Structures are given as structure tokens and as C-alpha cells.
Structure 1
Amino acid sequence: MQHAISISKLSKVYDSGLAALQEVDLDIRNGEILALLGPNGAGKTTLISIVCGIVNATNGKVSVQGHDIISEFRAARERIGLVPQELHVETFETVWDTVSYSRGLFGKKPNPPLIEQLLKDLTLWDKKDSKILELSGGMKRRVMIAKALAHEPKILFLDEPTAGVDVELRKDMWQLVRRLREGGVTIILTTHYIEEAEEIADRVGVINKGRLILVEEKSELMRKLGKKQLTVELNEVLETLPEALGGYDLDLENGGERIVYRYNSQAERTGIGSLLADLNRAGISVKDIATEQSSLEDIFVTLVEESR
């Protein structure tokens, strides 16, 4: 099956000797939302820049819907929309002209209804005749998104698209992303707001020091690496844990008023039921129970620390 993007043995070493990417292999499926997570300097932007033809790779191969990014650059690039971190907009042009011009750069015929819909989707319609210099930072970010979508790309890169923007734009952005995905657009995003990746991504990739640590279905990643915790509030203070409970990963906390049980998803079905039954057999009266699960951010931090 042809992928939206296929990346093989991709490396980038700068003249300074910095290895920004080290033999990255990655296949991105058509129509999926892939979140690329990693600390600053991990190589996320370098990866995007190579795929978009902004930076030359040292080694490796990249194809976009079957088109090599070097030998078939035009065919590959016209399938991609890019919203970079930095704001690059034509200061003295109007919003309408700026977005329309971006469509023309890819050889697309004028399509005023499409541009109008884009501006309305991004809450820019009432600013269509305003010059870019008159806009706030958040509005300029919206213009960048409209420019990236003006030529109707099948693949959209969002490089930290909501960094430093207001909550309203962030909400509009993710609504638009969902609509685009429903229309078959493949979306690759990098973000520091890991809760966004947790909410919207189909798969998650983690990069650190130029290496792709893993790419996993989000739900599977949460299942395999997510830690869970059961807190059992007791009716009576417990001085020590009975020996009969030695087979569980338990801690006695809050002066003996509660027991904390830490477990993973594999142990979930049998572990909790067995523990509660053993507590009952040991004559320990339970007042209340509560569960917690580690977030995607917790998993991300753990993976990065382990890679170091």
C-alpha cells in the first residue's frame, strides 16, 4: 500500500558536526493524524524541513505519495501544505490577496469560494481586506494556516501551530484539523501541548536527539506503557501491611489511612479484584477507592528519560 509519506534511513549532519537526524525510518499512512513529540532540538523541525524541501538531507530517501522529493520535487511539494513555527507573511498585503497568491504559487486556478470558506473556517472573513501588519499575532497565525491550505494539499504539516496563541484559535485549529482528516487529508503535527496530541492523534511518534524512539498507535501506547494507580481509603488506620498482601506493589500512605496499588494494564483485570478480595480476607475495611492513569505526557517524559 502506498503511504502518504515514506522515509527511509534519513540522516542530517550539519557542517558543525551536529547530527540532527540519525537514520530515521517512518511510514505515514494516508488520512491519519500523526503527532511528533520531542524536546527542543530533538529533530522534529529538521525532519519536516527535509520532507518539504527546505533542508537537504545528508543521507536517506523520502517519497510523498510515491513521488521522490528530489527527482520529483514539484509533484511531491504540491501535495504538501506547511504551517511553520515562524510567522512569514506579506506585511503590506491584504489577507485575501495573501491567501489567494499562495494558491497561485502552486499553479492552481483561482477559486474564490474555496478561499472564502477557508477564511470563514479560521474566523478571518471580517479581516479579509485588512493588511497583515494590522493583525494580531494570533490572526497572523490563522493567515499562515489559510495559506498552507489554499492549494488544497493532501498532506498538512503543522509545526507547533498553537504555540503562543489564544485558546480560541487552538479550539478552531483542532476543529479544522478534524474536518480535514474527515476529508482524507493526512496531518502531521508537532506540539508542546501534549494533551492536544492525546486528544486528536491516531499515532504518536517520539523523537529525541535525532533518533525516532518509537511510533505507536496512541491507544496501544497508552495500554502498553500507561501506569495505573488504585488508591484505597481505609476505615481504620493500618500500622503495617499484612504479609498476605506481599504479592502486590503496595504502599501504605497518609499515616496508614490509605493503601496505594500501582499496576499496568495487563494486570488490571485480575489485580484489582484479587487485591480487594485479599483485603477483605485480611479483615481490612475499605472506605473508598479511586483510580488514576498516567497521561501521554507521563509516557513521553519516561521515554525521553530512558533514551538518554
Structure 2
Amino acid sequence: MQPAISISELSKVYDSGFTALHGIDLEIMNGEILALLGPNGAGKTTLISIICGLVNPTSGSVRVQGHDIIRDYRAARALIGLVPQELHVETFETVWDTVSYSRGLFGKKPNPALVERLLKDLSLWEKKDSKILQLSGGMKRRVMIAKALAHEPKILFLDEPTAGVDVELRKDMWNLVRRLREDGVTIILTTHYIEEAEEIADRVGVINKGRLIIVEEKAELMRKLGKKQLTVELNEALETLPETLGRYDLKLEGGGERIVYQYDTQGSRSGIGSLLADLNRAGISVKDIATEQSSLEDIFVNLVEESR
């Protein structure tokens, strides 16, 4: 199946000499949600801007549903909806007119029923006759989303869509994103709220200093790169660990009342069973045990640190 977006050896060097992107290769599949993570200045917005035709690449190619973004710009751009970081709205227009006009820009026939549904989905219906000037920042962000969806794009870019917005909008947006995916829309989002990516993304890409460090299915990424930790609460505190436990990577914490054991998620759990058995043989009485796994945020931080 043809990918929704195919990026090959994409680079961007600005006139100042700064290289924003270094040979990016990436395929984004139809109907998936890809979360693109990276620190400020990593190149996320530059990459999105090139795909959407707002910035020219220095080298490489991008195809949107097979359409080259340079040679077949109109066809490629018509497939894309973009919600940028910055608010760009027509201050003196009404919400209804702004969203309807955005649909017309792509040569789409008027569809009042669609516009009504978008405004209701984004809790904007009661504001449909209000001028953008009168809206709060959160409401303006909702209008930006409605504008991006007005021409029924097959691919939607959300560039830090929930930065600085209220919890209600974030909830409405992610509900809408899930419905769009059910309709087959491909969604690419950048976010600083990594827990959002962990909850909603199918795949996760990490970019730093213009280089794509990794792209992996979320579950597989956490399986490969995540760590698990076993905490053993003891009935009696230890001053030191017995030498018989030396083959394990253990730490004493809490004044000797806890033993902490970190292990790779790709390893088998048999290490835990043998550890507990060895604790019993050493006469160490266990009060309680608990396990926890590293989050996507932990993995992201580690990847960025390693890339530096």
C-alpha cells in the first residue's frame, strides 16, 4: 500500500548556514497517528512546514499520497490540514465565515452541515456568529482546528496543538482525533505533553538537532528501550547485601528497608523468581514487592541525552 507521506533524504540548510534537517528518511502510513517528539529547536516544525509547502527543502523529496510537494503542489496541499503553533485567524470575521472560507480556499463546494458538525465537535457552535476578536485564546485555537478540517483533509498535522490551552479543549481535541482516525485520516502531531503521545499515538518518532533518532511502534519502543524496576520491601532493614546476591544489580534504599532491582523489559521474568528464592535462602524476610515500568517520557529523555 502506498504510504500517506514518503520522505527521502530530506535536508534543510538556511541562508545563515544553519542546518535544520539532516537527511530525513520517513514513511508515514495511511490511517496511523504518528507522534513526533523532540526538544525545542529539534527540527519538528521545519519538517512539518516543508511537507505542508510552507518552506522549501534544500535537498531530498517528499511525496503526499504519491504527489511530489514541489512539482504537484496543489494536489499534495489539498490533502493536508495544518494546525500550526501560532494563532493565525481573521480577527474581524465571524467563526462561521472563517471556517466556511477556509473550505472554499481549496475549491470545495459549500457544506453547511459539515461546518456545523465541526463547530459542535469543537464546542464552538454557540460562538458561530461571534467575531474572532471576541474569543479567548482557547476558543481561537478551536477555530484553527476547525479551519484545518474544513476541506476534509486526508492528512492532519497538529503542531503543538494543546500548548497553553485548557484541559477541556485537550479532551475535546483528542476525542476528535480518535474519531478522525476511525474515518481513515492520517494524523501527525508534535507535543510537549508526552503522556498524550503515550496515550494516543500508534508510532513515535524522536528528532533531535535535525536528525531522526528513531521511529518505532509505541508498544515496541517501550518494550525495547524501557526498563522495569522491582522494589522489595523488607521486614527488617539490612546494613549490607549478602555476597550471595552479588550476581544481581541491586541497590539498598530507605535505610536498608528496600531492595531495588532494575532489569531490561526484553529479559525474562525468571530473574525475579530466582532473586526472591535467593532472598529466602539468605534468610531475608520479604514484606511486599512492587514493579513499575519506565514511561515514554523516560525513554524520550534518554534518547535525546544519548544523541547529544
TM-score for both structures, normalised by structure 1: 0.99
Match of 2:302 in 1: 302
Match of 1:263 in 2: 263
1:83-119, Cα deviation, whole Å (9 max, x unpaired): 0000000000000000000000000000000000000
Residue identity (%)? 86
Alignment of 1:173-188 (within 5 A): 173-188=173-188
For 1:31, the aligned partner's letter is G
Match of 1:11 in 2: 11
Q: CA deviation at 1:268?
A: 4.2
Match of 1:225 in 2: 225
Alignment of 1:23-42 (within 5 A): 23-42=23-42
Match of 2:87 in 1: 87
Match of 2:293 in 1: 293
Q: Distance in 1 between matches of 2:239 and 2:44?
A: 51
Q: Distance in 2 between matches of 1:215 and 1:262?
A: 25
Runs of 4+ in 1 over 2 A off after TM superposition: none
2:21 counterpart SS class: strand
Match of 1:143 in 2: 143
Q: CA deviation at 1:273?
A: 1.2
Q: Distance in 2 between matches of 1:236 and 1:40?
A: 47
Alignment of 1:88-167 (within 5 A): 88-167=88-167
For 1:193, the aligned partner's letter is Y
Structure 2: runs of 5+ lacking an equivalent: none
Q: Distance in 1 between matches of 2:183 and 2:22?
A: 33
Q: CA deviation at 1:266?
A: 2.1
Alignment of 1:230-249 (within 5 A): 230-249=230-249
1:2-31, Cα deviation, whole Å (9 max, x unpaired): 000000000000001110000000000000
Q: Distance in 2 between matches of 1:255 and 1:118?
A: 57
Range with bigger deviation, 5-14 or 274-283 = 274-283
1:156-202, Cα deviation, whole Å (9 max, x unpaired): 00000000000000000000000000100000000000000000000
Q: CA RMSD in A?
A: 0.7
Structure 1: runs of 5+ lacking an equivalent: none
Alignment of 1:187-198 (within 5 A): 187-198=187-198
1:256 counterpart SS class: coil
TM-score for both structures, normalised by structure 2: 0.99
Match of 1:70 in 2: 70
Q: Distance in 2 between matches of 1:22 and 1:128?
A: 44
Q: Distance in 1 between matches of 2:176 and 2:26?
A: 25
Matched, 1:22 2:22: yes
Q: Distance in 2 between matches of 1:268 and 1:147?
A: 50
Q: Distance in 2 between matches of 1:233 and 1:219?
A: 29
1:258-281, Cα deviation, whole Å (9 max, x unpaired): 100011112242121111111111
Range with bigger deviation, 161-170 or 235-244 = 235-244
Q: CA deviation at 1:133?
A: 0.2
Q: Distance in 2 between matches of 1:235 and 1:129?
A: 67
